[in-house]
Structure 1
Amino acid sequence: MVRITQILSLPPETLNRILLLGGPGIGKTEITEQYARELARKEGRTFVDLDLLDDTAARRLAEDCEGHFVYLRVAAPHIFPEDVSIPKPIASGDVIDFLTPVRLKILSRCRGLFFIDEMTNVKRADQRVFFYSLVQEGKAGWSWRLSPDVIVVLAGNLPSMSVDAEPLPAPLLNRLTVFNVEPPTVDEWCAYMERKYGDAWERAVCEFLKEGPSFLFEPPKEPEGLEAYPTPRSWTRLAVQLHILGGIKADEDLVAEVVYGNVGRSTGSKFLNFYLSRVPKEFFRKASRAVENV
């Protein structure tokens, strides 16, 4: 098993057709996008997140993507074979052609990374067959072909951690390199928060996790329920929310509920004892190395 952050050091040829298998909220999506952005920078290309393009810009890019690196993340359960090739009658009336959605058309022509998330949540047999062809041959339907310059990365949760997750068929697994991944270190998570949020997060979360690194990720005891549990994703959400609540001077009961709602009562109570101590919050809101310098 490797840390999710270690995939950042893989060459594109190794990352291609890889399945990242790990717990929910450990950073599979964030790290994959970070990899795509960094690869675009190394290749001197302009990074483009296809989810953020309007239809007009997407059509222009489909016609000319020279110098661009495209990125598209999709949830596998939301993609169906009929979405790829849409029937279109030809004028003669006795034959049909097939249309391809513009973002998939871009992936057939451009350099980029196609991230297929929640792969272990796919239920329908025809969807699974669709992904067999996509992963092995880079094609699907009657007319869509994936560009050989596109890296395909898949991700999924372990069945023991998600009630929706299921084992994958052996023929599909045989088409993939399976990486079992675990969460980043606390230092890696804190560095990520600094890069992404600057001063707009509560650094007390980082200091608490440094005191107890095991609290960064505590998978649920049962794969379904109503109790929150700590993951890098939920700590990220909590750190941002606490920064906002600090600005409005929210009362302690409200703060406690926000904490419990993100990381659960067991871990949340430990964090609250730390956070609501007599240590001034400004102590944690200084520069990232404030604790070491004081």
Structure 2
Amino acid sequence: MLRKSLILDRIPISLLPSDRQKCGWIANSVIIQCILVFLGSATVLHCIWTPDNATLDFDKLLRIMYLFDPQACDYNLHIARSLSNIQLPNNTFGLQILPIKWKPAIMTVSTRLSAKTRKYIELSLTIHIIWMFAAMILRIATRKSKNIKLLKVVLAMFLYISISVLFFDISMAIVYVAHIQQSLTKGMVLRYSGWSVELQLRNYDDFAGWLPITASICWMRGIVILTLNIYSCKIIYYIRKRMKKREVKRRLVQELNLPIPEPAYQQFNDKHVLHCRSGEHKPFVHKSVINKIFY
């Protein structure tokens, strides 16, 4: 192989066409999810889920438990007043009357799960805004940019933000599953939410634990979309890993297989060498002063 025919590979390392397509549909799926979350959150924050329009029991309970906050929506809620403690003397004055034992009054308890849900939704909106901007940057960078450093930074940023969103969704799902202890029956939901005066149900003893389970599944994006997001994070991770692997491989190849250097002309010192021409048997001696001294 001639040295001049050797051409070094100077093509910069970048994303493969298949990896660019994968990043494109991942970014599109994230943007669609964020838009749906924005629309759903807007319905809750603008007080659309009023229980006055509900007819089914589970629909009413889901609205008063999570979707409708009466204080934030300026709803005139008539909360049941707590019973006052009645204290009677135990002195029977010699009569055969059993004394009355004192018991604490039963009070209406309000845990305000709807108010907490409203705060969680506001926090979720902030997180999804950041996630959507990261997806837009990923879409633009993987479509046009060929800068390896920029692509590595964008992929790492999107991966870490996506993992944070996944942890947030799973943690919120765990929090809402724990609400099942306050919703074993429909009557418990009315008592703890403070709507016992406003609403009437058909059966107060039915199991109402499906409400927190449904809310937990919604926070996990129906489990199917959550699984899709986990798979997307896995794809982004392996894309970054392949980019680093190609970069290290190319660096090692360039360090171990250096280009063949061009020959350089060097002038040899042949003053002490005897030269014989073709057909001559007597060597030719240089007639220099130094040669005459030593020879």
TM (norm. structure 2) is 0.20
Higher helix share: 2
Larger radius of gyration: 2
> Which has the larger share of strand?
1
